Amino acid sequence: MSQEIAVEFRHVTFSRNRRPLVANLNFSIPQGEALVLLGRSGSGKTTTMKLINRLFTPSQGEVLFNNIPTTQWNEIKLRRKIGYVIQETGLFPHFTVERNVGLVPSLEHWKPNQIKSRVYEMLHLVGLEPEKFAHRYPHELSGGQRQRVGVARALAANPPVLLMDEPFGALDPITRLELQREFKRLQQELGKTVVFVTHDIQEAFVLASRIGLMYGGELVVLGTPEEFMRSPHPEALAFLQCLKPTP
Ligand SMILES: Nc1ncnc2c1ncn2[C@@H]1O[C@H](COP(=O)(O)OP(=O)(O)OP(=O)(O)O)[C@@H](O)[C@H]1O
Ligand SMILES: [Mg+2]
């Protein structure tokens, strides 16, 4: 059975002030895949994500979402299909946790009681007791709690594709590992397509069905974790040196 393609990059370059931020991106993401983009700071991971939900449009080449170029999509419709957890969580400061998490369902006119039960379900999932946290504002949370609200919000409307830009960066290592495992289980169970950015190779190995290694704006290695382990690319070797034995 051939697998459907969720996202496809066709010879994509994105430039600002005539300088390419990413170049020659040419790869596809099958539905249900957990693709982890790994790379050091400034290597082009966030830029690649933003090309998927059309925060950026290619300077050359095209990005296809469900086989249609992103430039031909209605932007709002496209973004409703793509949950996005941004690096800085992007919560609305003047909305409670409950309103933040229920944002997309309410834009999609779900019934209030449906929204509330979905919000509570998502907060449970990310380990925040709804009774305690639903009515707080983002500034009344720790950085790690805010990140978890960001994850809950991205999952709430059940989008088929999730972009997650270092969503667990601000968590302590124990909570982080718990959430990674929980997220992995969930992703496999729901069959979601996920693009997950990290510069933590440990995290990449826990979550990835394939790892894409970015270096200087290019995708230099793309393969399963086993293939990645055998990659002779110097940047892959540099990352593999950071790998500690898994707990
Ligand atoms: N809007 C912009 N205009 C000009 N240059 C940009 C813009 N956004 C990012 N850059 C540059 O593009 C390169 C790639 O940035 P990007 O944000 O994709 O990196 P990243 O891999 O996500 O890094 P990090 O791990 O630090 O988040 C960097 O050199 C960055 O300075
Ligand atoms: Mg980034």
pLDDT in tens, 209-229: 999 999 999 999 999 999 999
> Is residue 207 in a domain?
yes
Rounded distance between C-alpha atoms, residue 76 and residue 108, angstroms? 11
Which residue lies with its CA nearest to atom 26 of ligand 1? 41
Q: Which of 144, 159, 174 is the last residue of a domain?
A: 159
Q: What is the mean pLDDT of residues 55-62?
A: 97
Q: Which of 132, 159, 186 is the last residue of a domain?
A: 159
User: How many folded domains does the chain comprise?
Assistant: 2
Q: Which residues line the pocket of ligand 1, CB cutoff 6 A?
A: 16, 21, 39, 41-47, 87, 199
Query: How high is the pLDDT of residue 38?
Result: 96
Domain that holds residue 221: 26-44+74-81+162-247
Same domain, 105 and 124: yes
Say if residue 150's pLDDT is above 80.
yes
Q: Which atom of ligand 1 is nearest to the CA of 50?
A: 18
Same domain, 153 and 185: no
Q: Which of 110, 140, 159 is the last residue of a domain?
A: 159
First to last CA, the chain: 36
CA proximity to 152, closest of 182, 178, 126: 126
Same domain, 175 and 147: no
Determine whether 32 is exposed, middle or buried from the number of CB atoms within 10 Å of its CB (0-12, 13-18, 19+).
middle
> Is residue 62 in a domain?
no
Is the overall model pTM greater than 0.75, yes or no?
A: yes
Same domain, 173 and 238: yes
Type of residue found at 183: F
Which residue lies with its CA nearest to atom 12 of ligand 1? 21
Q: How many residues does the chain have?
A: 247
Say if residue 245's pLDDT is above 80.
no
Rounded distance between C-alpha atoms, residue 62 and residue 59, angstroms? 8
Q: What is the mean pLDDT of residues 121-129?
A: 90
> Is residue 67 in a domain?
no
- Ligand 1 centre to CA of 41 (Å) is 8
CB atoms inside a 10 Å sphere around CB 241: 8
Same domain, 221 and 145: no
Q: Which ligand is nearest to the CA of 50?
A: 1
Same domain, 127 and 150: yes
Task: List, for residues 88-113, the tens digit of each pLDDT value.
Answer: 678 999 999 999 999 989 988 999 99
> Is residue 15 in a domain?
no
Query: How high is the pLDDT of residue 188?
Result: 84
- Ligand 2 centre to CA of 87 (Å) is 7
Query: How high is the pLDDT of residue 2?
Result: 56
- CATH value at residue 221: 3.40.50.300
Alpha carbon separation from 47 to 14, 51, 57 (Å, rounded): 8, 6, 10
As given in the structure block, the two tokens for residue 5 are 């393609």
Which residue lies with its CA nearest to atom 16 of ligand 1? 44
Same domain, 147 and 174: no
- Ligand 1 centre to CA of 46 (Å) is 7
> Is residue 9 in a domain?
no
Q: What is the mean pLDDT of residues 122-135?
A: 92
Query: How high is the pLDDT of residue 247?
Result: 57
> Is residue 16 in a domain?
no
Say if residue 87's pLDDT is above 80.
no
Same domain, 247 and 166: yes
Strands 5-16 and 60-65: antiparallel
Question: If pLDDT is split at 50, 70 and 90, which confidence band does 1 have?
Answer: very low
Say if residue 84's pLDDT is above 80.
yes
SS3 assignment, position 112: helix
Specify the DSSP class assigned to residue 243.
P
Task: List, for residues 65-81, the tens digit of each pLDDT value.
Answer: 999 999 999 999 999 89
Same domain, 182 and 137: no
Query: How high is the pLDDT of residue 119?
Result: 96
Determine whether 90 is exposed, middle or buried from the number of CB atoms within 10 Å of its CB (0-12, 13-18, 19+).
middle
Same domain, 121 and 148: yes
Same domain, 147 and 202: no
- Ligand 1 centre to CA of 32 (Å) is 27
Among 50-59, 93-102, 187-196, which is the least confidently predicted range?
A: 187-196
> Is residue 195 in a domain?
yes
- Which neighbouring-strand residues pair with 195? 35, 163
Residues in the 5 Å CB sphere of ion ligand 2: 46
Same domain, 169 and 214: yes
Q: Are 201 and 6 in contact (CB under 8 A)?
A: no
> Is residue 151 in a domain?
yes
CB atoms inside a 10 Å sphere around CB 80: 14
* Pocket residue to mutate for ligand 1, from 41, 45, 47, most atoms within 8 A of Cβ: 47
